[in-house]
Structure 1
Amino acid sequence: MNPVSGRAPAPLLRRILRQGKYESLTMIRNGEQLILAIVLPLLALIGLTVTPLLDGLGGSRVNVAVPGILALCAMSTAFTGQGISTGFDRRYGVLRFLSTTPLGRTGLIAGKILAVLAVLCLQIAVVAAVALPLGWQPEPSGWLAGLGLLALGAAAFTALGLLVAGTVRPEATLAITNLLWILLGALGGIVIPAERLPALAQSIVHLLPSGALGMAMREAFLHGTLNGSAALILLLWTAVAGFAAIRWFKWN
């Protein structure tokens, strides 16, 4: 029972849905996050389709590029976007306040995950709307695996983003998440396949969440297959980062 209004709080599911809606609208209305989530991936898509960087990888340029761009969208929203927004919510006391409301800590985290998935759906629609006129022809049988892998990758990157946001200062979160976005996007195997990276990078990118997601997405949409080892790596990253975030997350 709410002592102020005299009414019981809404059911947990309704609270989570409302928080997810709020988080989603906040992300979409934020110009910087919109650039990170939509504009930069689209620029990367166009750049990869007009340059020969992806030639000779078993498909047309756009067919090879789009799965990596979708994976980049997941990393942009779940890791960099959520990391930065959560870090500054923590700095201004928003997290501390919300964790004491009927929403609770569990509802708050669930709402953030829901927001990531909602924005990711929007990103998929926008990328597909641009890629299809460019000649993208995904393997129809790969959609189920591809969407499942995107959700799993979003979970892994959300856990990593919350871990960073909950353990370091907001200014450091901003620097760390943006730097890792650049490094993983360029050298992490998420957009550019490992075959096109330096020999040293090739030996480790498959163990990174970026490399595992990028490789698995390309196999799904190019060949219609599910890469079980890559999915396992993403599950391990989700479990380890999630446990660490729960263990060391600071709400104030």
Structure 2
Amino acid sequence: MTDTMTAGRDIGAAGRSTTTAGRLHALGRAELTLLVRNRTTVFLVLMMPVLLILVMRSTLQEIGLEKSGLTVAGASLSGGIGMVLLQVVYMNLVSAYVARREELVLKRLRTGEVSDREILVGTALPAVLLALLQSALIVSVGTLAFDLSAPRRPELLVLGVLLGCVLLTALAAATSALTRTVQTSQLTTLPLFLVSMMGSGLFVPLDLLPDPAASVCELLPLTGVLTLVRAGWLGGVPGDDVLGAALTALAWTALAVFAGQRWFRWDPRR
């Protein structure tokens, strides 16, 4: 309750701001305060992607990657960026949106100067910035410590990460509409998490799957993002596949933004 009251005072400052940047800064600062004070969330956000990268590394060593043309380090670390996006942006934001809704923070914000879009974006800012920093750290560590090449197409890598942030932020807003409490967010986020882990190339590159299964998995929400990330960092992806991945990611992003705007709930589900 104390954290909520503190955040309410910080967010209230956004209503007195005269610019969009000022309001977003106040919202983001308040959300960052709540994030830092929640030790469980901080652990999940910072440590879980690292632990899952280690799990992916051991799994990839068992299955062999000769057909995919990737190394164990390259596959696990590029997949680790996908884990950061899922854990830090998607799963964390579903909990944040639901918590602010049930605490009536969102409802109070709508009575002020802040627009609905600013509320959603401002709440997401700390998670998105943290995901960008962690992704940059993964690339840096991979390049320096695991003998991987520097990003071959950095523009594709940046595009993939940014699209992933927008896509998963919008999907978090849509998923929060189906989530009654913060506790049940662990269940409502599980389907996308499992589907992305098994079918979007996080654990197993699509080149190792049978052709019919790979064709279906190419259409999953996070597959296009991960294809862009791997093409940008490691290369080896044909131009047609990169274009198809970009179009798939953009299509899912547009659908997710529409769903988030259409079905997001501002009032508590009681």
Quickly name the TM-score band, shorter chain normalised.
0.7 to 0.9
Structure 2 residue 52 is matched with structure 1 residue 44: yes
For 2:109 and 2:36, how far apart are their aligned partners in 1?
A: 21
Counterpart-to-counterpart distance in 1, 2:81 and 2:36: 17
State the 1:93 CA deviation: 1.3
Q: Tell me the alpha carbon deviations over residues 80-135 of structure 1, each in whole angstroms, 9 at most, x when there is no partner.
A: 11011111211221211122222232221221343232111221244345434541
- Distance in 1 (alpha carbons) for counterparts of 2:27 and 2:62: 44
Other-structure match for 2:6: none
Which ranges of structure 2 fall in alignment gaps of 5 or more residues? Answer: 1-12
Residues 47 and 249 (structure 1), Cα distance of their counterparts in 2 relative to 1, 3 Å cut? closer
Corresponding residue for residue 164 of structure 2: 153
- Displacement of 1:15: 0.9
State the partner residue of 1:53.
63
Note the alpha carbon deviations across 1:137-185, whole angstroms, 9 max, x for none: 2443322210121010111111111001134422543311134323422
Q: 1:121 to 1:230 in 2, by over 3 A?
A: same
**CA separation of 1:220/1:198 partners in 2, compared to 1, >3 Å: closer, same or farther?**
same
Distance in structure 1 (CA, Å) of the matches to 2:199 and 2:44: 18
Amino acid paired to 1:169: R
How many residues were matched structurally? 247
> How many angstroms apart in 2 are the aligned matches of 1:97 and 1:68?
39
Structure-2 residue corresponding to 1:27: 35
Q: Which amino acid aligns with 2:65?
A: D
C-alpha contact 1:28 1:119 (8 A) present in aligned 2: no
Whether the 8 Å CA contact 1:63–1:222 is kept in 2: the answer is yes
TM-score normalized by the length of structure 1: 0.85
Q: Is 2:74 the partner of 1:74?
A: no
Q: RMSD value over aligned CA atoms?
A: 2.7
Indicate if the aligned counterparts of 1:62 and 1:131 stay in contact, CA closer than 8 A: yes
Give the AA of the match of 2:261.
I
User: Given the alignment of the two structures, is residue 18 of structure 1 paired with residue 26 of structure 2, yes or no?
Assistant: yes
Paired AA for residue 121 in structure 2? A
* d(CA) in 2 for partners of 1:124, 1:140: 12
Q: 1:228 to 1:29 in 2, by over 3 A?
A: farther
Q: Which position in structure 1 is the counterpart of 2:262?
A: 247
Q: Sequence identity of aligned pairs in percent?
A: 23
Give the Å deviation of 1:232: 1.2
1:39 deviates by 1.6
Q: 1:186 to 1:40 in 2, by over 3 A?
A: farther
Tell whether 2:233 aligns with 1:218. no
- Partner-residue secondary structure (3-state), 1:88: helix
Q: Deviation string for 1:30-70 (max 9, x for gaps)? A: 33333333322212222333424353121321122211111
Separation in structure 2 between the aligned mates of residue 8 and residue 219 of structure 1, nearest angstrom: 44
Question: What TM-score, normalized by structure 2, do the two folds share?
Answer: 0.79
Distance in 2, matches of 1:211 and 1:28, equals 31
Q: Could you tell me which residue of structure 2 aligns to residue 95 of structure 1?
A: 106
* CA distance in structure 1 between the aligned counterparts of 2:142 and 2:33, rounded to whole angstroms: 25
Shift in alpha-carbon separation, 1:24–1:142, aligned structure 2, 3 A: farther
- Which runs of 4 or more aligned residues in structure 1 lie more than 6 Å from their structure 2 counterparts after TM superposition? none
The answer to whether structure 1 residue 192 and structure 2 residue 204 are counterparts is yes
- Structure 1, unmatched stretches of 5+, are none
| Conserved? CA contact 2:93–2:124, under 8 Å | no
Instruction: Give the alignment of 1:111-190 within 5 angstroms.
Output: 111-128=122-139, 130-132=141-143, 134-170=145-181, 171-190=183-202
